[in-house]
Chain A
Amino acid sequence: MPISWSTATSTCSTPRWPASCPGRCRRSVSSCSTRHTTSITSALRLSVSASASRRWKALNETCGASRKRLIGRFKATDANRLRAEYNRLVDGLAQRGNLPISDAWLANPALPDDILKEAVPGNIRRAEHFLAVLRRLVRFLDGRLETETVENEMPVSFVASIHSQAGIDQKMLRFCYDRLHSLMLTLEITDTDEFMHIQTICDFATLIGTYTRGFSIITEPYDERMPDIRDPVIQLSCHDASLAIQPVFDRFQTVVITSGTLSPIDLYPRLLNFNPVISRSFTMSLTRDCICPMVLTRGSDQLPVSTKFDMRSDPGVVRNYGRLLLEMSSAVPDGIVCFFVSYSYMDGIVNSWNEMGILQDIMQHKLVFIETPDVVETTLALDNYRKACDCGRGAIFFSVARGKVAEGIDFDRHYGRLVIMFGVPFQYTLSRILLARLEYLRETFQIKEGDFLTFDALRQAAQCVGRVIRSKADYGMMIFADKRYSRHDKRSKLPGWILSHLHDAHLNLSTDMALHIAREFLRRMAQPYDKMGSGGNKTLLTEEDLQNMAQDAMEM
């Protein structure tokens, strides 16, 4: 029985920092790169969602079972141990041996210091009392799921209604996470998977008890797109990325944030709520023009292409996109990666291509592999894709922007000589969570909705196309296939390293022109080149070169 109750809460408020951060030294430098920053700024959805009442029941049962098992366990356990635990809880969590103020905070939801220092409130110190509180909480949530309308609440009002209906106050909620953690440690429970759901509930409770702003609780009785199918979900959504990064700034004196997709660079300090000491954008030091970004606005029949809502299902656009891929697959060696704006769009367009016969033509040139929601299948597809590229057969990989592949898999060298971004990967704008987040951003940071959406979409696009080049010796082409990329307000939000290679002549291409450019580029790049180079043109710098450069910089 798949239960879609997420475990998000427990960890997601703190993105996974490099574990090598030197421990207690205040002067240490913490640096984080793309994946971390993306997870902070974009998502940070501390979403706790329970969907489908049926599943909810199952969850309820497991929670009940978990509780019973807990009770069973502590009845059997030595009373002395429980006694000792009680004492520890009185003294405050910080004094316990098993939760020292150390790097353990990295694994917890961002708990304020006072939680660690304060003593656990008296009415949940005893295990059976705590379990009763949990039971009431679950019953309360169960009741909220019965709703027929979409509700969007701030944590304060939600906590107030919990207090009035279930008799649990904010302080008790705040300690749920730690109380459960402590209980499970005391009972020496190892099969934590079984208690995952009750943990999720406790995480949820702790978060709403701790934060009064920056979050909202959204209850949806059904999916917006399928209003006749009941599928209730409670989601706790975090709108404020600065909450997650705050502990890092508090703990480390020097924080370096680096990424290839931090643009526009001035937006990040606002989103993450800090004052940068130095913010600098560096150009890529390439020995040759090894990336070739292009904006394709028209298809082979000179009609505009776009994934705009009114155009995306137009057969002409679908065909033009297909022809583009077909032409490219016959001209580009080895691997090609395609990114689509969403799963459903990819599914639709691949089916259309299949019916039009374009897919069959494409398969004459290269094998086709596709990302699916199934992780195992996607992994195998990726593995096969690499094999096909390795053996010279050549392959195409279809993937989704914001998907797992776009976030984590590199298509460097022959694994990706061309990446095509079909459309602009805007978020689904009717999503309740997004709407709530946009509202928060507007009220708190005065960031306009349109600006944020464009920024987010272009960052995703840059993230996708950036997969293709990972080193100086590598080379690859990037095609932004949508007429909207030719507009300055969109394009200018791309990172500098792409813009600096985006020539004016490549801004408004049709399929045939793009094909011509691609052929030229590939011919030029495929030549063997001298890695040693001469002067400042070296791919590999020696120690001497570095010293010379440093001297030059000093003289200037």
Chain B
Amino acid sequence: MGSMTIGAKYKTTLKDPGTTGVLRMNEDNFTFTPNDPRSAMKLNVDFRSIKGHKFNKVDGSKPAPPLLNILKDSDKGGGYMFEFDNVSNRDLCRDFVARVLGKQQGTVPPRLSVLPENSITSSGPEQLSSAEMQWRMKLLQEDSELQKLHKKFVLGNILQESEFWATRKNLLDDEANKGSKQRPGFKSAMLADVRPSADGRTNKVTFSLTTEIIHQIFAVKPAVHRAFLDFVPKKMTEKDFWTKYFRAEYLLRTKNIVAATAEAAEDEELAIFLKNDDIVAKEARLKIKRVDPTLDMEADAGDDYIHLLDHGIIRDGSKVTIDTDSDLARRTLLQDLNRHAAVVLEGKTSDVELTDTKTVAEALAKSRKEPHSSSVSDDTNHERLAKVARMIEIEDLQAPRSLPYAPLCIKDPREYFDSQQANALRSLGGNNDGRHIRSSRLSADDAFHHLLDQISSVKVNGLNCPVVHSDVALKVLNELNEGISRSRRLNLKNPQEGLLGQIPRRTRDELMDHWTAIQELLRHFWSSYPITTTVLYNKVQRVKDAMTQIYQKLQDIKESAQPDVRHEISKLVKPMTQALDAAFNHDLDQQQKSSKAGNKPNGF
């Protein structure tokens, strides 16, 4: 890492005009020697007492001198402030300090880890809020993989701290936003649409229910939920309740309106299930006020003639005439689908273990009440206005907008390695089962002729000599044996382990690390194109160097591998090297292009 010497001004406070002098830094300490030998501002500070650094943002808008503040203790705010002649000097210095600090703190065991969160950012706000630093630290501590990457690249001086985190901004935001774990939602499948199974012999249909299905039924049909809370167990048993429910469902399904009407007249509890869901209707009326105004078709209903119920498009060929007077439900599959999808989208609000119907019902009731109190019209109004504003702007002229999204939690990203590899291999034309197809030099025609010749020669000569030479036969047998044993070995293995299972653990881990490292590097590599600034250019160079190193390492692994797994390893490595090759080629192309063009595009 060496040392560096640079001219700077030491300032005790921000207002202080400063003492000009020379700042010398090496890996262990930094010294400041004033130009005026009489000055008392001599410094000799050990880097171990330094906790971090800060710097200010310098842009053309205000004449501020570039400053670097090396902090002794981040809590007390004591430190050494230096002013530099220009920004690039300052940045050099800053990077040096960051590196030294990073190196120091990287060696500290992780439980104490004050990873160099404080030494951050080359652009953006001059210093990060402490909250963000804490998030970063937390992320690094939680995710050993991330920590490894961070150590490798940031401390290895391949990527800058800010670059490393820039791609993970979303990760930080998510953490900052909720900090809770991902909640399981409803299943996409329409569980509430229970299909009866008939045994074929008797006139009986059977519906089967699980708590999960019940939960979904309650969520999709709030009226059923309310009825359940009202009736069970005061008025009827749970079994009776569900029998009635499914009886009603069955009537609806068979579209037997006459029977449904008759049954509803007799049994008022059953009639509840046949009626339209008034709670859903009420919710719809509330929700319609909050929809995106550009979608609100109810608002401009009547502006045109599509809604008119004559013999036009809407009634095009519909088979059943609908009696509008009946208050019995006319639920269609389409409505069910809409309702279901809406419920799935809303998601579950409770995390209650689904063990018992009663608890399910009560938990749902509790969660239903909560959003009511919090729904403030003021808030929704604001949201509505924001939506309107978004719809009227012209997209071509805007920077891409990042929409809020539900983050995915993946338990172990490595589990997805296999599938990615499989895809890569498939695209290579290789097959997945560990055997490779020998390329045959003979065409089918040739083989056929050869065989014919042999047979005719046998016919002529008789079987006086063996058709196949013994050494050839042995070779073939050996080959076949090997193939069989290999495929048996594969089949006996846990199928989930796949390709990775066959390699020694150490190599496997090493490969995985390289894989994640390559992914990170490639991401940075491709995102820096087109190269428009020196910063990007330097970054690409650094990333390229790192990739070359990894490439070399991969080759080493391949060569040093045991012969029995070499083939598997080379297959695993192949997609990685290919990805790297593509990057190198791109880089080469770009260089050629720019050298051919003579003048560098974009001034670079």
Q: Is the CB of A226 within 8 A of B321?
A: yes
Interface flags, A380-408, vs B, CB<8A=1, else 0 = 11111011101111010010101111011
Instruction: Give chain B residues whose Cβ lies under 8 Å from the Cβ of A182.
Output: none
Answer yes or no: B416 CB below 8 A from chain A CBs.
no
The verdict on A379 contacting B307 (CB below 8 Å), with A343-B318, A354-B333 known, is no
Do residues A51 and B310 form an inter-chain contact, with CB atoms below 8 A? Answer: yes
> Which residues B274-311 have CB closer than 8 A to chain A?
284-285, 287-288, 291-292, 294-298, 300-311
Q: How far is the CB of A50 from chain B (nearest CB, A)?
A: 9
Interface status of B476 (Cβ within 8 A of chain A): no
State the CA gap A368–B333 with chains docked (Å).
12
* CB <8 Å contact, A395 and B297: no
Verify B342–A380 contact, CB threshold 8 A: yes
Q: A350-B333, A388-B341, A409-B295 are in contact. List 15 more A-B contacts (CB 8 A).
A: A45-B305, A49-B308, A49-B311, A343-B316, A345-B317, A354-B333, A364-B189, A369-B341, A372-B332, A373-B314, A381-B338, A382-B297, A384-B338, A387-B345, A395-B341
CA distance A192 to B568 in the complex (A): 82
Roughly how many angstroms separate A331 CA and B516 CA in the complex, as a whole number? 25
CA distance A223 to B301 in the complex (A): 25
A49, A367, A379, A390 — most chain B CB neighbours (10 Å): A379
Does B291 contact A375, Cβ atoms closer than 8 Å? no
Specify the chain B residue showing the minimal Cβ separation from A405: B297
A18 vs B85: C-alpha distance in the bound complex, in angstroms?
A: 61
* Residues 434-492 of A contacting B (Cβ, < 8 Å): 470-474
A93 adjacent to chain B (CB < 8 Å): no
Cβ of B601: which chain A residues have Cβ within 8 Å of it? 534
Contact B307 A370 (CB under 8 A): no
Residue B324 at the A interface, CB < 8 A?
Answer: yes
Does A153 belong to the interface (CB within 8 Å)? no
B309–A4 touching, CB < 8 Å: yes
Contacts of A408 in B (CB 8 A): 297, 300
Q: Which B residue's beta carbon lies closest to that of A534?
A: B601
> Please, what's the 1-or-0 string for B23-37, where 1 marks a CB less than 8 Å from any CB in chain A?
000000000000000
Contact status of A380 and B395, CB under 8 A, knowing A4-B308, A347-B332, A392-B406: no
At the interface, yes or no: B49 with Cβ under 8 Å from chain A? no
* Bound-complex Cα distance A413 to B396 (A): 11
Interface residues as binary, A90-130 with B (CB distance below 8 Å gives 1, 0 otherwise): 00000000000000000000000000000000000000000
B-side interface mostly = loop
The 6 A-B residue pairs whose C-beta atoms are closest, nearest first, are A344-B317, A367-B341, A383-B291, A392-B405, A4-B309, A49-B310
**B397 to A, closest residue via Cβ:** A540
Could you tell me if B338 and A369 are in contact, using CB atoms closer than 8 angstroms?
yes
A395 CA to B189 CA in the complex, in Å? 14
Q: Given A6-B310, A8-B305, answer yes or no on A379-B291 (Cβ-Cβ < 8 Å).
A: yes
Known: A376-B284, A408-B297, A409-B295. A402 touches B317 (CB 8 A): no
CB atoms of A539 and B396 under 8 A apart: yes
A2 CB–B CB distance under 8 Å: yes
Task: Say whether B333 contacts A383, CB under 8 Å.
Answer: no
Could you tell me which A residues sit within 8 Å of B by CB distance? 2, 4, 6-8, 12, 16, 39, 43, 45, 47, 49, 51, 220, 223-226, 229, 231, 233, 235, 342-347, 350-351, 354, 359-360, 363-364, 367-370, 372-373, 375-384, 386-388, 390-393, 395, 398, 400, 402-405, 407-410, 412-414, 428, 431, 470-474, 528, 530-531, 534, 539-540
Contact flag A377-B338 (CB < 8 Å), given A12-B305, A235-B310, A412-B395? yes
Q: How large is the interface on B (under 10, 10 to 19, 20 to 34, 35 or more residues)?
A: 35 or more
A2 to B308, CA, bound (A): 11
Determine the distance from Cα of A225 to Cα of B316 in the docked complex, in whole angstroms.
9
Question: Nearest-CB distance from B13 to chain A (Å)?
Answer: 44
Q: How many Å lie between the Cα of A408 and that of B306 in the bound state? A: 12
Contact A376–B341 (Cβ < 8 Å): no
Contact yes or no, A390 B310, CB < 8 A: no
Question: Assuming the A-B contacts A6-B308, A367-B341, A369-B337, are A390 and B403 also in contact, with contact meaning beta carbons closer than 8 angstroms in the complex?
Answer: yes
Asked if A384 and B342 sit within 8 Å, CB to CB, the answer is yes
Contact A43 B406 (CB under 8 A): no
Q: Does B335 contact A (CB under 8 A)?
A: yes
Neighbour of B303 across the interface among A16, A43, A414, CB < 8 A: A16
B341 contacts which chain A residues (CB < 8 A)?
367-369, 381, 384, 388, 395
| Structural contact, A344 and B305, CB atoms closer than 8 A | no
CB distance from A377 to the nearest CB of B (A): 6
Taking the closest CB of chain A, its distance from the CB of B524, in whole angstroms, is 14
When distances are taken between beta carbons in the complex, the residues of chain B under 8 Å from A350 are 333-334, 337
- Asked if A380 contacts B287 (CB within 8 A), the reply is yes
In the complex, chain A residues whose CB is within 8 Å of the CB of B284: 376-377, 380
* Complex CA–CA separation, A220 to B311 (angstroms): 10
CB contact list, B376-422 vs A, under 8 A: 394-397, 403-406
When chains A and B are docked, how far (Å) is the Cα of A359 from the Cα of B404? 28
Complex interface: chain B residues within 8 A of A387 (CB): 345
Per-residue 0/1 for B61-94: is the Cβ within 8 Å of any A Cβ (1 yes, 0 no)?
0000000000000000000000000000000000
Chain B residues whose CB sits within 8 angstroms of the CB of A382 once the complex forms: 291-292, 295, 297
Chain B residues whose CB sits within 8 angstroms of the CB of A402 once the complex forms: 306, 313
Neighbour of B406 across the interface among A370, A391, A400, CB < 8 A:
A391
Contacts of B530 in A (CB 8 A): 530
CA distance A16 to B300 in the complex (A): 13
Chain B residues whose C-beta falls within 8 Å of the C-beta of A49 in the assembled complex: 308, 310-311
In angstroms, how far is the closest chain A Cβ from the Cβ of B8? 38
Q: Which residues does chain A contribute within 8 Å of B405, judged by CB atoms?
A: 390-392
Given contacts A367-B344, A372-B335, contact A47 B305 (CB under 8 A): yes
What's the Cα separation between A354 and B335 when bound, in Å? 13
Given contacts A235-B310, A343-B316, A470-B395, contact A375 B337 (CB under 8 A): no
Q: Which of A223, A235, A380, A413 contacts B288 (CB 8 A)?
A: A380
A372 & B334 in contact (Cβ 8 Å cutoff): yes
Chain B residue with Cβ nearest A364 = B188
Residue of B nearest to A428 (CB): B316
B315 on the A face (CB < 8 A): yes
16 pairs across A/B with beta carbons < 8 Å? Answer: A12-B305, A49-B310, A51-B310, A342-B317, A359-B337, A364-B188, A367-B341, A372-B338, A378-B297, A380-B288, A382-B291, A391-B345, A403-B306, A407-B304, A428-B316, A539-B396
Knowing A391-B404, A392-B405, the reply to whether A47 touches B310 (Cβ < 8 A) is yes
B292 touches A225 (CB 8 A): no
A368 touches B295 (CB 8 A): no
Residue of A nearest to B311 (CB): A223
Most buried by A among B294, B302, B317, B318: B317
A379 touches B295 (CB 8 A): yes
Q: Is B251's CB within 8 Å of the partner chain A? A: no
Task: For chain B, residues 337 to 396, give those with C-beta under 8 angstroms from any C-beta of chain A.
Answer: 337-338, 341-342, 344-345, 394-396
Chain A residues near B345 (CB-CB < 8 A): 367, 384, 387-388, 391, 393
In the complex, what distance in Å separates the CA atom of A291 from the CA atom of B307? 32
B190 touches A (CB below 8 Å)? yes
User: Which residues of chain B are within 8 angstroms of A381 by Cβ–Cβ distance?
Assistant: 338, 341-342
A90 to B104, CA, bound (A): 101
> Are A344 and B311 also in contact (CB < 8 A) when A387-B345, A392-B406 are?
no
**Cα–Cα distance between A428 and B317 once the two chains are bound (Å):** 9
A373–B310 CA distance with the chains assembled, in angstroms: 13
**Inside 8 A of A231's CB, which chain B residues have their CB?**
311
Contact for A363 among B188, B314, B316, B406, CB less than 8 A? B188
Q: How far is the CB of B274 from chain A (nearest CB, A)?
A: 19
**A471 contact from B295, B301, B321, B396, Cβ within 8 A:** B396
Residues of A within 8 A of B312 (CB): 431
- Asked if B306 and A407 sit within 8 Å, CB to CB, the answer is yes
Residue among A363, A386, A390, A405 with the most chain B CB within 10 A? A363
Given A12-B305, A380-B288, A384-B342: A403 and B313 within 8 A (CB)?
yes
Task: Let me know if B189 and A229 touch, CB within 8 A.
Answer: no
Q: How far is the CA of A8 from the CA of B396 in the complex (A)?
A: 39
Q: A395 contacts which chain B residues (CB < 8 A)?
A: 341
CA distance A302 to B338 in the complex (A): 32
